[in-house]
């Protein structure tokens, strides 16, 4: 049986904060075969509650990204339970003592895997949903000569103040659990995880989604059934410290962080050489299209192409909106064929 992922040993990995992640590990998986010219490489980072396995819904036979034609590398975010995370890192960096890992750090680690380990000099496309899309911006700004195209969907190059506040809300719901104990819990803080999932459900879809009862298309007979499903998904599927480690990465998201651009956001956007199609959902409640429209003005080769859907942020979840999937594939083909 082929394992779900492989591990790339990074050793003691220096972070942008100045701290060091001890004995760091980057989980990843590859699909397809690299061409002799090494010009068919596509990088698909993972989203907030995603893994490389869940990214498999974004490609396949006959799709714009097809393992029969492309070499796909899917690296896992630090904190997602596969790469180094609070749940699998030994003391003294276990649990709530896990250091802040920023987007810069994730991409620096991915660069070591892709360039140093796999011997790849050019990436045809970096694409992804949500935090994966944020990483596509980071790739293009951090290694502008390496990335030829990006397609972030339902994402942004810098976490907006409103997005930051939304994340504070779900964080507060989780940490209010009396079993949270500052992250030093003896058993999972299930009440907090349930609250986290219930609050998140209100942001993941749009107002129109709930008004029109589109949750019935997902098999739920009521809003309460949907929220209970989100509760259980977070209780059964996620370690609380892992969720908060990735949340901290998300909140700190800014492609201009670090000495390369010294927090000059417009400079960082202007340094992106990659062709770009920015694909927000017009009804996304925490990655609104206005942010991408601003970004597109400063990225030299960017096209702003929003998609309207009541599915909100979850429009990109494979199977939710067939029209979005078709448009996503069309945009990918456009970038790869140029």
Going 277 to 282 to 283 to 284, the CA torsion angle's sign is positive
Catalytic residue among 70, 111, 234, 313: 313
Q: Decide if 1 is inside a domain.
A: no
Known catalytic residue at 284: yes
313 is catalytic: yes
- Judge contact between 110 and 136, C-beta under 8 A: no
pLDDT of residue 2: 61
Burial of 126 from C-beta contacts in 10 A (0-12 / 13-18 / 19+): buried
Mean predicted confidence (pLDDT) in 129-141:
98
Residues 193 and 113 in one domain: no
Q: Which of 188, 223, 247 marks a domain boundary? A: 247
Check if 162 is active-site. no
Domain span including residue 284: 6-160+253-337
Output the six-digit token pair for 40: 């068919």
Catalytic residue among 239, 284, 291, 321: 284
Mind listing the pLDDT tens digit for each residue in 40-51?
999 999 999 999
CATH for 319: 3.40.50.1820
pLDDT recorded at residue 290: 97
Please tell me the pTM assigned to this model. Answer: 0.97
Q: Look over the chain and give the mean of its residue pLDDT values, rounded to a whole number.
A: 97
Active-site position among 83, 84, 130, 256: 130
Q: Is the pLDDT of residue 207 over 70?
A: yes
Cα pseudo-dihedral 308, 310, 315, 319, rounded to 10? -120
Q: Give the residue from 204, 225, 247 where a domain finishes.
A: 247
The total of structural domains in the chain comes to 2
């Amino acid at each position: 049986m082929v394992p779900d992922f492989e591990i790339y040993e990074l050793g003691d990995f220096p972070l942008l904060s100045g701290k060091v992640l001890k004995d760091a590990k980057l989980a990843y998986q590859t699909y397809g075969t690299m061409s002799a010219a090494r010009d068919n490489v596509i990088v698909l980072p993972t989203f907030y509650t995603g893994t490389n396995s869940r990214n498999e819904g974004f490609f396949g036979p006959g799709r714009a990204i097809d393992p029969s034609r492309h070499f796909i590398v899917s690296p896992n975010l630090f904190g997602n339970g596969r790469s180094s995370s609070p749940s699998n890192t030994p003391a003294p960096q276990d649990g709530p003592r896990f250091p802040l890992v920023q987007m810069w750090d994730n991409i620096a680690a991915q660069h070591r895997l892709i360039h140093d380990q796999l011997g790849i000099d050019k990436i045809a496309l970096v694409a992804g949903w949500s935090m994966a899309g944020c990483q596509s911006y980071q790739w293009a700004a951090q290694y502008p000569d390496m990335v030829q195209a990006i397609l972030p969907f339902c994402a942004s190059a810098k976490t907006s103040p409103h997005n930051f506040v939304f994340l504070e809300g779900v964080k507060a719901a989780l940490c209010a659990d009396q079993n949270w104990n500052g992250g030093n819990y003896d058993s999972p803080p299930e009440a907090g995880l349930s609250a986290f999932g219930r609050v998140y459900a209100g942001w993941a879809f749009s107002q129109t989604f709930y008004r029109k009862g589109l949750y019935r298309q997902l098999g739920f007979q009521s809003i309460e059934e949907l929220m209970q499903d989100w509760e259980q998904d977070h209780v059964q599927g996620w370690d609380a410290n892992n969720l908060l480690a990735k949340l901290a990465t998300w909140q700190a998201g800014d492609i201009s962080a670090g000495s390369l651009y010294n927090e000059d956001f417009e400079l960082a956007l202007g340094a992106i050489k990659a062709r770009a199609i920015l694909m927000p959902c017009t009804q996304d409640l925490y990655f609104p299209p206005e942010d991408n429209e601003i970004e597109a003005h400063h990225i030299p080769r960017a096209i702003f192409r929003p998609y309207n859907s009541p599915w909100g942020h979850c429009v990109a979840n494979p199977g939710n909106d067939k029209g979005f999937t078709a448009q996503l594939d069309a945009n990918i083909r456009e970038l790869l064929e140029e």
